[in-house]
Every structure is written in C-alpha cells, then in structure tokens.
Structure 1
C-alpha cells in the first residue's frame, strides 16, 4: 500500500488543493507550498488529456501525491488519469451505490476490478507492467464525490460499497441540489453534510470535503472529516493578489502618496 493511500484510509489529516491552471509550472509552485496532495481538476478546468500527465509528472518531481478529479464516470477517463501516474481519482456526482461500485471497478485491476492493462507512464511505458500490477490495487485511492440530493438519500448504500476509500462532499453542488443556497440555507446544508460525514465514518470510510477557506477545515474536522481540498490554485492566486494589492494601497496611504 502506498504511503498516501495509507494516510487516507487511516484518516490522517490531509490538506490539499485543486490544481486548475493547465501548466506544470503552476503545479510545481503549489507542490512547494507544503500541501499534502494536489487534485488536478479535469472536471471543471480547461485541461487536456496530455496535460494531465505533464501536471502529474510535475507533482511527482516534488514528491507530492497527485490525484485527478475526472470529468465523469467514464471508465476511459479514470483509466487515462491512472495511466498517467496519478495516485488516485476523485469521481464526481456519485449518487448511487451502483455508480460507486462502477468507480471502484474502473480503478482496480482484475480480479477486484475491470481496469485495462496498458503500457502507460504509470507502468513505466511497458517496462514495469508486472511491478505496477502487483501494487496498483493496494496503492490507488478511490474517492467518490457526493453532491446531489439523490446521493444524500443514498449515502448509507454508497458508504457501504467495498473499495471506496474516501467519500468527498461537494458543498457547492449539494447546496444547489437540496435547495440550500446562501445564508438562508446554511443550516440545511450543514445538516446534510453532517449526515454524509456520519454515514461515511460509520461504514469505516474516510470523510473528505471541499473547503473554500481555511476556517472551514477545523469546522468539519471536528465532525470527523480528515481529507480536505482547500480552494484551488486559481482561488489562492486571486486571494494572494488581492491581499498584496490591499497591503500596497495601505502602505501608500500611510506614506501620503496617492
């Protein structure tokens, strides 16, 4: 078992971030920040398939685990992400136990799954296929994202699926799906998230959640979550630039300059 998957399933507190800027330089900058892992966002960012591999390679250089949020449930997308050398996948919009089972099957080689064998980067371009096959099933992290009203209703069945390592809450889509948008829906959303976290932990899975700001990490950690994706490279870039500009303006104001 890889060190990263071991940390995940043992519920060690891990804080990562989404990598949405489609360039290895951005990945290297994020990798040097001290994050525990990166999640390349193939679902929402404008990232090509070949760039996925380049971004995973950039994370590998700095020995930061990289997983990929795939665009959907297609086994081909999951295989492409894993063949690139990613240490796991985050599968979005998982709303039923059958979808969770399909994600596991697509991520594991037979006899426990249906992943196809290929000479990709993960397998040393064909030179280390046997070695990779021997350890891949124990090393790949399978995370499924629960973010719909249907997923909330089926959370007990999803959490019971063997082979799922992490059940990850997507608060944004979940809030829309259960009509809990904005301040008025905050309590309803919090209750839904608590229900997902409780069911996840009760079934022996690791609970994860997206956190837009650092303060959210402590809030959900108190309920048992341990796998956190904090913002994204684009969000952190914008926040850092805004904070820097505000500080510069304040300095200019104190010096009397306009």
Structure 2
C-alpha cells in the first residue's frame, strides 16, 4: 500500500467509498468488492477512536488502503487516525489557506510539520518508530475538503499550499453554503465545482469529488477530477435492500 499516495496524485483515477457502518465486518465486505480505497467517516458516522483502529485493521487484512475523514481540524484527531495506521486523512471544511497549512502541519512529522511521534500501531507499537519517521511524510495522503462559500472564494490560495495531495470537493455542503441546492441550481453548483477543479489542477493538485453513485464519473473526469468517493456502505446497503424488496414484491 506504499503506492497509494502515488496513485492518488497520478491523475489516473482512483475510486473508493465511505465506510459509515461502524464495524470491521462492513469493512471486509466492502473490501471484497475491490475498491481502490475506503474512507472511514468519522465526521458524520458514529465511529469512535478504538473502532477506527479495528476498521483499519480489517482493511489492511484485505490490502485495501483506508483513509479516515476526521471530525474536524483538531490536530489530535488527525494524529490519532494516522497513529492507528490510516493511509491518509480527509480533513473537512477547509475554508482558507491557514486551515490548509494547519492540516499539513498536523499530518507531517518535523521538519515538514508538527505531527507528534508515538508508539502507536503505525509505528509497530514502538518497534518501527525510525522507519515510520523516515517514510510517513512520503506515503501519507492528505486530502482537504472544500465545501463552503469561503473555501470556494479562497480556492486559489488554498490550492497553492504545499503538502496537500488531494483537494476534495463536497458538493452537498457546498450547495448549501452557496445557495445552490436542488436541480434548478445545478448549473451554479457545477460551475463552482469546475472552478475548484481548475484552480486545484493549475496548482498541480489532484482533485476529488463525492458522488452518490458512479453514473456521472465519466462526465467529471473530463473536468480533471480523478479521485472519487462513491456513496457509502450504508447508502449501498439501503439501496440494495430497497431494490431487492421491490423486486420480490413485484414477483408476488
């Protein structure tokens, strides 16, 4: 999994999904579908620190990189996810360059950042600290999420921050904060997404986007977006159950 960062930043296209069901079994079932990565959602799902580590273990068992969407900007949350062995973090609601620089500092060991050194799972419980210090800054993926009107306004300054690997667009919150919800405002939202993508690519950053399903990935690839999180395990479980029950009822 050491090549995950290279894959994310190569602009060739990686596709994953959110892991929102707080159990390692759900991770194993998701991993069996062979996504390029999973992103454990600690922002909107009820997943605690100990359970995150177990879910990362389950992903590692199937050799699927596991990122963690941390709850916010706290450096302790970023460090905790990385100490548990996450391949990267997704930091939500980054709205200006200072917040972007703080995320870089929290995810990188000195001299590139201020991440603390500890004997966690990522460091082999103390047995691989030297190895971790040598490799982590080159392998950990930092994705920041642009999903506010302020973030949209500041996108050029944010994209210029060194140390960011992926600029990830959250269209749901973005649509709310720029008053572009619903089909009638689709053109406005799409224009905002394209502005973010253009600024990120101009700065040499990979661009990511959340989609509820994969039906329009080909369209967004033309806009330079190469990193996708498609729905979540909970969403797909719900959709699969609904489809299965509907089919059964139609045949009775």
* Common fold: TM-score over 0.5: yes
Matches within 5 A, 1:215-254: 215-252=215-252
Once residues 85 and 2 of structure 1 are traced to their aligned partners in structure 2, the CA distance between those partners, rounded to angstroms, is 12
Once residues 244 and 219 of structure 1 are traced to their aligned partners in structure 2, the CA distance between those partners, rounded to angstroms, is 29
Once residues 214 and 247 of structure 1 are traced to their aligned partners in structure 2, the CA distance between those partners, rounded to angstroms, is 22
Partner of 1:112, secondary structure, is: coil
> Which residue of structure 1 lines up, in the alignment, with residue 55 of structure 2?
55
> Which residue of structure 2 lines up, in the alignment, with residue 156 of structure 1?
156
* Higher-Rg member (1/2): 1
2:15 pairs with 1:26: no
**What whole-Å deviation, never above 9, does each CA across 1:201-222 have from its counterpart, x for those lacking one?**
1110000000011113222111
> Which residue of structure 2 lines up, in the alignment, with residue 139 of structure 1?
139
Partner of 1:181, secondary structure, is: coil
2:203 pairs with 1:209: no
Once residues 229 and 184 of structure 1 are traced to their aligned partners in structure 2, the CA distance between those partners, rounded to angstroms, is 24
How large is the RMSD of aligned CA atoms in angstroms? Answer: 0.9
Once residues 179 and 37 of structure 1 are traced to their aligned partners in structure 2, the CA distance between those partners, rounded to angstroms, is 32
Give the number of aligned pairs.
252
Shift in Å at residue 251 of structure 1? 2.4
> Which residue of structure 2 lines up, in the alignment, with residue 38 of structure 1?
38
| Shift >4 Å, 4+ stretches | none
Partner of 2:251, secondary structure, is: helix
Partner of 1:214, secondary structure, is: coil
Partner of 2:142, secondary structure, is: strand
| Structure 1: gaps of 5 or more residues | 253-258
> Which residue of structure 2 lines up, in the alignment, with residue 5 of structure 1?
5
Partner of 1:12, secondary structure, is: coil
| Structure 2: gaps of 5 or more residues | none
Once residues 235 and 95 of structure 1 are traced to their aligned partners in structure 2, the CA distance between those partners, rounded to angstroms, is 27
Once residues 53 and 216 of structure 1 are traced to their aligned partners in structure 2, the CA distance between those partners, rounded to angstroms, is 33
The alignment's TM-score, normalised by the length of structure 2, stands at 0.98
